Amino acid sequence: MIVLEFKLKGKLQQYRIVDEMIRTAQFVRNKALRYWIDNQGVKLSDLYKQCAIMAKEFEWARKLNSMARQASAERAIFAIQRFFSNGKAKNPGKKGYPQFKKHTHSVEYKTSGWALSTDKKCLTFTDGFAAGTFRLLGSRDLHFYAPKEIKRVRVIRRADGYYAQFCINVERTAEIVPTGKTIGIDVGLNHFLTDSTGATVPNPRHLPKSEKALKRLQKRVSRKKKGSSNRKKAINKLGRKHLKVSRQRKEFAIKTALCVVKSNDFVAYENLQVRNMVKNHKLAKSISDAAWSQFAQWLQYFGKVYGKTVVAVAPQYTSQDCSSCGNRVPKSLSVRTHICLCGAVLDRDRNAALNILAKGLRQARIILNTVGHTEINAWGQTGLYPLVVTSTDKPTG
């Protein structure tokens, strides 16, 4: 599954209708969740039936396409399933009990309620809201895909406008170019990443670069009268600035992950629990700005697309253990040089990257031995040929 995004170009009145569509989708989702709370053990089919009942009960809910109402109910059931899966997995902390939504920003259609023009440059909504036709602005082309391959259309409201995402049921593949290289990656705050060869990528620190402007815009919002049009304009400018920082962060994660995957046949990285790490309030802002989880998601995605092996390893003691002799050398976070009794002296992050690579190779070797795919390459290491060559899932960040 791949996702293509376009900006929707329309009239102001059309955007107001889209806002009504989003509010209706939020209402259906919350009503479906309320039905589950009042009737424990209901299934998705039961929520589908409730969508039909809502359409009869509320005239304005009937305007939303029937499949769009079902997609809104699916959002509720997905939140419920995530809550139960977190409980079964015994994840620490809160399990994410489903909550009612107050500020939804999107509405999702399936295979009906919308239509593309013959040149596939315009999108028309055909349900009861009659939002009309929008021009699609973007660098990608929908001509390569048949209408039946488009399984969902998601409309998203952002600070800088309205966007349409087309979820297309096709497999993305790329030519596999073996490089004969393996790499271990240690992410950090001083450097965004340090690999097992000693190479580093500087931390871009997108948020600190824009923090002065963000504080200024936040002050403007605070000084405006609540409910006034000037306050709404100030909030929109603040949202646009936050959106720009978010896009910078995402673009950096994508480009860095793509470069790492294309340059190596085997990539090992730390499976960090960022949710627990941000509990340290002194480092929470810097950790969130680094976007390690987003980087890891794109590593996995590009690994499938380019047929490379990407392995996540446990981060425990990767910084403490010596990569030369294996002895444990306890050190605080402020100590940036690894010094061992065996004579090994190297940068702390590179030592961790070497340990991550060794862990990843052992982990992959066990998996490949289990399925019977172990071979020896000419360059003397175990042949780690990926089990999955194509990709059907793309990250949403």
Catalytic center residues: 186, 270, 349
Q: Amino acid letter at 363?
A: Q
Sequence-ordered list of residues with C-beta below 8 angstroms from that of 391, at least 6 positions apart, any chain: 171, 172, 173, 301, 304, 305
Residue pair 181/100 in contact (Cβ under 8 Å)? The answer is: no
Give the Cα separation of 173 and 163 in Å (integer).
Answer: 26
CA distances from residue 15 to 9, 62, 133 in whole angstroms, order as listed: 9, 19, 11
Q: What tokens appear for 325 in the block?
A: 């002799």
Encoded amino acid at 256, one letter = T
- Residue in the block written with tokens 């082309």: 141
* Cα 384 to Cα 361: distance, rounded to the nearest angstrom: 9
Instruction: Write out the two tokens for 200.
Output: 């580093």
Residues near 365 by Cβ (< 8 Å), separated by ≥ 6? 374, 382, 384
- Hey, what's the torsion of the CAs at 323, 324, 325, 329, to 10 degrees? -50
**Could you tell me whether strands 132-137 and 122-125 are parallel, antiparallel, or unpaired per DSSP bridges?**
antiparallel
Q: CA 364, CA 87: separation in Å to the nearest integer?
A: 29
DSSP state of 94: -
Distances (CA, A) of 146 to 92, 109, 126, 185: 45, 17, 19, 40
